[in-house]
């Protein structure tokens, strides 16, 4: 059974953590990083699949999400002042939890978690042996509005003291009001309902949509990641998995970024919506086949280097 605990981030924020041990340990550790508005319990199936492969799994809820401390008084607002705050979360988690488990874990991450993993791979090249990044947040869909316009609107709201307010329409993204037909993330109704059931049972861990401040912080980080030399500086073996029907992040931006990675591989699951790990079995089976092959290759390469 997973073991839950709490740690304190560098700036004092309280973060909820989880470690799940396999029945047959292999000595391998996987750091699991979730996306925006997500929470540890949503990944119960994924954690079981990882422990079934012999991995010890270490996960946590980012600040403002799940069971971690909220940033604002309204617990439904997804807010951060700058993505460096998320960096602090991951740094604190690596030091307090992961360092006790392994000096060279794997990282598996989704969406915003993949974006933050890329920041870590860039700034801390010795943290992870290899990375599997699912539907990374390289660039986001603006739902038909020009990107330059949404960027200006976001900057104006943040600049005029409205960074803590919901972006337009985001308060209506309370999961208690979202139906399978309205959501944009998965084609698997049963897995969508499983997540909804968790949130009905534990309503305090749910979030609606982001604030203007969160979106502005995301734009700053995405712009930095798009600069020449950023992707090229990431030397960790990395598998990026794109979702061909993604309506949350822009798949073409994902393809371009993956092509710039010196040790990157890219595969695309054509029939998948954004949440590949929450998709239908046929899609997930293809993901796990690619995951297993990549991890085996990365471990063989690492072992060969160690033997020299």
- Residues making up the chain, counted from first to last: 308
Q: How many domains does the chain divide into? A: 1
**For a pLDDT cut of 70, what percent of the chain falls above it?**
96
In sequence order, the 6+-apart residues with CB closer than 8 A to the CB of 75 are 204, 207
221-280 confidence digits (pLDDT tens): 999 999 999 999 999 999 999 999 999 999 999 999 999 999 999 999 999 999 999 999
CA-to-CA distance for 178 and 195, rounded, in angstroms? Answer: 12
In DSSP terms, which residues pair with 6 in a beta bridge? 16
The domain that contains 104 carries what CATH number? 3.40.50.1820
Q: What is the pTM of this model?
A: 0.95
Answer whether 79's CB lies under 8 Å from 213's CB.
Answer: yes
Token pair of 176, please? Answer: 């208690």
In sequence order, the 6+-apart residues with CB closer than 8 A to the CB of 256 are none
- Which one has a higher pLDDT value, 113 or 143? 113
Rg (CA), the chain: 18
| b/e per residue 156-190 (b: at least 16 CB within 10 A) | ebbeeeebbbbbeebeebebeebeeeebebbbbee
Q: How confident is the model at residue 152 (pLDDT cuts 50, 70, 90)?
A: confident
pLDDT at residue 154 in the model: 81
Max CA pair span of the chain? 58
pLDDT at residue 2 in the model: 83
Residue numbers of the domain that contains 264: 3-307
């Amino acid at each position: 059974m997973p073991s839950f605990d709490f740690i304190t981030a560098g700036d004092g924020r309280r973060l909820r953590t989880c470690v799940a041990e396999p029945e047959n340990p292999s000595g391998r550790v996987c750091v699991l990083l979730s996306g925006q508005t997500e929470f540890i319990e949503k990944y119960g199936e994924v954690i079981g699949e990882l422990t079934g492969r012999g991995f010890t799994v270490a996960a946590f809820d980012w600040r403002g999400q799940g069971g971690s401390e909220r940033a604002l008084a309204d617990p439904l607002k997804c807010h951060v002042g700058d993505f460096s705050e998320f960096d602090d979360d991951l740094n604190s988690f690596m030091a307090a939890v992961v360092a006790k488990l392994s000096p060279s874990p794997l990282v598996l991450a989704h969406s915003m978690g993949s974006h933050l993993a890329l920041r870590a791979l860039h700034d801390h090249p010795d943290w992870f042996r290899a990375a599997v990044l699912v539907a990374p947040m390289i660039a986001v869909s603006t739902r038909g509005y020009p990107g330059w316009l949404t960027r200006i609107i976001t900057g104006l709201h943040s600049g005029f003291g409205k960074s803590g307010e919901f972006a337009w329409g985001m308060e209506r993204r309370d999961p208690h009001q979202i139906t399978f037909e309205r959501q944009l993330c998965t084609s698997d109704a049963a897995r969508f309902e499983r997540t909804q059931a968790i949130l009905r049972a534990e309503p305090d861990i749910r979030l609606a949509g982001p604030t203007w401040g969160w979106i502005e912080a995301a734009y700053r980080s995405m712009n930095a990641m798009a600069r020449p030399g950023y992707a090229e500086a990431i030397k960790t073996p990395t598998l990026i998995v794109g979702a061909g029907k993604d309506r949350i992040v822009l798949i073409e931006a994902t393809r371009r970024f993956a092509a710039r990675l010196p040790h990157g591989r890219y595969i695309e699951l054509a029939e998948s919506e954004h949440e590949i790990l929450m998709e239908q079995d046929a899609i997930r089976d293809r993901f796990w086949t690619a995951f297993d092959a990549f991890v085996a290759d990365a471990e063989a390469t690492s072992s060969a280097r160690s033997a020299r």
